[in-house]
Every structure is written in structure tokens, then in C-alpha cells.
């Protein structure tokens, strides 16, 4: 580890523009393997100004507590002089109690003037509390509900909020009632987006998901909520605007469709992009299969973004970009 950090030190920038490395080894240089059933999985996310020795200190911190590094993703952009890393490691809680772990990583953050240092132990930390906002279209909402039920996401859904009314015998309402998830129907108008009521409902959540919620959240709402909001939309914009964009795109004979997941910002659909997926369509598709493919890519794109967020894979980068370390 020490050797690698010396090789990619700032003096070597001309050879390594936008330094990005994925390391899968322990602090002895071999692939880490669990040696005891008592070992627990941890994740550390780190963002700080770039100086020599960061990776060595991160490695030493984990090794000093007899932890094994499973993987380390590192990115240092050539022009920004900042350091991004995400480490996965195994540790024994008896030898490295959580309080001590938090203190150790906090000391590292202070040493390197970190902008962000987050540690997570997925098996023992509380699940992320989220609320889902959705309108009439249900494909993304239903996929998230089933993904939550199947344990694909480390989340706890505290509520579903919609500006579309659903009857008591619809499959979504039956699912929510069966699992004790409150459903709030808040009809909106141009004059009243019901934002104060939404804020009251979502006040204790960790982040929000807009699963095809066809309302624009105001700047005042974003400033009041203060936490991250993840949005999904189809990739047919800006060419196909207005009502029924899928029909417009199908009639135009497009051959490539897609979806974009991004953080919500005050500028409409212009927040930092988290994930983008594409899907090919052809002359063999009819309107039904075209729409089905479009909805499927939206579901996959949103699920992938939420999974990346919960696994601490996403960093803010520059004014309107993200660093996303892939699995």
C-alpha cells in the first residue's frame, strides 16, 4: 500500500491524469479472506484535499485494529487536487468496537481536513429511512416496494406520498396496508403543491426518492429539507416533450431509449447525475413493448442509483457532477 501511494503521488501527475485505481487486497498485499465467522463487513467513504500519504494512513488505521481491506477505490482528478476513496474491510467488533472505529476515522478526517468521512457497518447500522413520492405511473414505485420486500435495499420505507388517488382495493394500497406503510394522498394544484405537508411527513427521513413524481419541488422545499433527493426520468427529453413522450418517440422511430437518475436541484432535471442506462428498440417493437422497455430501464436505473447511494459509492464532484465507484 505504501509503495502504491508513492507511485501515484502528486509529483507523478503528468503520468497519471485523473488517477483512478481499484485495489482488491489486504494490508499485506494478498486477497483478503474471512478468517473467522465473527468478522463483520464495514465501508468507509472519504473525501479530502489530496496530499501524500492518505492511502497509507487509511490502510494503517484499519490494519492497526487487525482489520482486513477487501477493496479500495480511489480517484484523484488531475485539476482539482482532491482525494476520493471508498474502502471495504472486515473487522472483529470485539477488537474494534464501533465507538473506537468512529473515533479512529474521525481523527483521520481531522488530520487530512476531510470534507466527508462516513463509516457504515451494514449488518448493524440502522437502515436508511426514506419516503417515496409518486404520481399515477406505478412501475418505479412497485419495483422499489418489491425490492424492499425482497431485501435488495438497506432501507426502511416510512411513507408513500402521491398526488394521485388510489382506491382501497388497488395492488399498491393492499401492499402498503399489508406492510404497515402509510399512504398519503395530497392532491396538488399550480398554486398549492402541498409542500409544507410533505415536509411534515418526511422530516425524519434520511433521503427522498421521486419515483416518477410529476411535480416540481420548489427551491424553498429543497432548502427546508436539506437532505438528498433522488429523481428518475426517462431519456426521451428534450426531443419529446409534453404528453405521451413514449408515443412521440415510437412514432419518430427512435432506436435507443434510456433513463437518468440524478439528485434534485433547483434547476429542473439538471442535478448531478448518478446513473444512466440505455436500451435498444427496433422496428419489431410495437408501442406496448416500446413502453415496457422504457419502463423497465427506468426501474433498473433508479434501483441501481439507490443501491449505490446506500453503499456509499457516490460523491459530489465539481459543481454539478458525481464520482460513482462501481461494484
CB 240 within 8 A of CB 253: no
Span 80-109, pLDDT tens digits: 889 999 999 999 999 999 999 999 999 999
Span 185-231, pLDDT tens digits: 999 998 999 999 999 999 999 999 999 999 999 999 999 999 999 99
pLDDT reported for residue 13: 39
Neighbours of 159 (CB within 10 A): 18
**Is 318 or 45 the better-scoring residue by pLDDT?**
45
Question: Rounded CA gap, 75 and 19, in Å?
Answer: 5
Pairing of strands 19-23, 40-49: unpaired
Neighbours of 284 (CB within 10 A): 6
Pairing of strands 229-234, 207-210: parallel
CB 262 within 8 A of CB 274: yes
Question: Rounded CA gap, 25 and 45, in Å?
Answer: 17
Span 246-288, pLDDT tens digits: 889 999 999 999 999 999 998 877 899 999 999 999 999 999 9
What are phi and psi for residue 87, nearest 5 degrees? Answer: -120, 140
Please count the residues of the chain: 327
**Is 244 or 171 the better-scoring residue by pLDDT?**
171
Enzyme catalytic residues: 269
Per DSSP, the three-state class of 53 is coil
| Mean pLDDT, rounded, for 4-19 | 41
Residues 6+ apart with CB under 8 A from 1: 23, 27, 29, 55, 56, 59
pLDDT of 25 strictly over 70: no
All three cell numbers of 165, joined, read 388517488
pLDDT band at 37 (very low <50, low <70, confident <90, very high): low
All three cell numbers of 8, joined, read 501515484
Span 290-303, pLDDT tens digits: 999 999 999 999 99
**Is 222 or 33 the better-scoring residue by pLDDT?**
222
CB 208 within 8 A of CB 225: yes
pLDDT of 17 strictly over 70: no
Cα-based distances in Å from 276 to 95, 250, 294, 307, 324: 41, 20, 13, 14, 12
pLDDT of 307 strictly over 60: yes
Of all residues in the chain, the percent with pLDDT exceeding 70 is: 88
Span 61-70, pLDDT tens digits: 999 999 999 9
Question: Rounded CA gap, 317 and 144, in Å?
Answer: 27
pLDDT of 33 strictly over 80: no
pLDDT of 238 strictly over 80: no
pLDDT band at 10 (very low <50, low <70, confident <90, very high): very low
| Mean pLDDT, rounded, for 131-145 | 97
pLDDT reported for residue 319: 85
Helix (H), strand (E) at residue 50? none
pLDDT reported for residue 9: 36
Cα-based distances in Å from 301 to 3, 152, 168: 38, 14, 30
CB 194 within 8 A of CB 296: no
* Per-chain mean pLDDT for the chain: 89
pLDDT reported for residue 2: 37
Question: Rounded CA gap, 304 and 147, in Å?
Answer: 11
Amino acid at each position: 500500500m505504501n509503495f502504491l501511494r508513492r507511485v501515484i503521488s502528486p509529483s507523478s501527475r503528468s503520468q497519471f491524469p485523473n488517477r483512478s485505481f481499484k485495489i482488491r487486497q489486504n494490508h499485506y498485499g494478498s486477497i483478503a479472506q474471512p478468517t473467522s465467522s465473527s468478522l463483520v463487513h464495514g465501508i468507509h467513504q472519504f473525501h479530502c484535499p489530496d496530499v501524500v500519504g492518505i492511502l497509507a494512513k487509511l490502510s494503517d488505521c484499519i490494519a492497526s485494529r487487525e482489520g482486513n481491506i477487501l477493496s479500495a477505490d480511489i480517484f484523484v482528478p488531475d485539476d482539482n487536487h482532491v482525494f476520493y476513496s471508498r474502502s471495504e474491510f472486515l473487522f472483529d467488533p470485539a477488537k474494534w468496537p464501533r465507538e473506537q472505529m468512529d473515533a479512529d476515522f474521525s481523527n483521520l478526517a481531522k488530520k487530512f481536513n476531510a470534507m466527508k468521512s462516513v463509516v457504515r457497518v451494514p449488518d448493524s447500522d440502522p437502515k436508511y429511512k426514506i419516503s417515496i413520492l409518486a404520481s399515477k405511473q406505478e412501475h418505479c414505485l412497485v419495483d422499489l416496494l418489491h425490492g424492499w420486500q425482497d431485501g435488495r435495499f438497506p432501507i426502511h420505507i416510512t411513507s408513500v406520498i402521491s398526488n394521485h388517488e388510489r382506491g382501497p382495493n388497488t395492488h399498491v394500497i393492499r401492499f402498503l396496508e399489508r406492510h404497515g406503510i402509510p399512504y398519503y394522498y395530497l392532491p396538488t394544484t399550480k398554486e398549492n403543491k402541498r409542500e409544507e405537508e410533505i415536509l411534515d411527513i418526511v422530516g425524519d427521513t434520511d433521503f427522498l426518492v421521486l419515483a416518477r413524481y410529476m411535480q416540481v419541488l420548489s427551491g424553498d422545499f429543497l432548502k427546508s429539507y436539506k437532505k438528498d433527493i433522488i429523481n428518475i426520468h426517462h431519456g426521451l427529453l428534450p426531443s419529446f416533450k409534453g404528453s405521451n413522450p413514449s408515443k412521440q418517440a415510437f412514432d419518430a422511430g427512435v432506436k435507443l431509449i434510456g433513463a437518468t437518475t440524478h439528485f434534485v436541484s433547483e434547476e429542473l432535471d439538471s442535478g448531478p447525475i448518478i446513473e444512466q442506462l440505455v436500451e435498444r428498440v427496433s422496428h419489431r417493437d410495437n408501442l406496448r413493448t416500446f413502453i415496457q422497455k422504457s419502463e423497465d430501464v427506468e426501474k433498473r436505473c433508479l434501483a441501481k442509483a439507490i443501491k449505490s447511494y446506500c453503499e456509499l459509492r457516490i460523491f459530489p464532484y465539481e459543481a454539478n457532477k458525481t464520482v460513482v465507484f462501481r461494484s
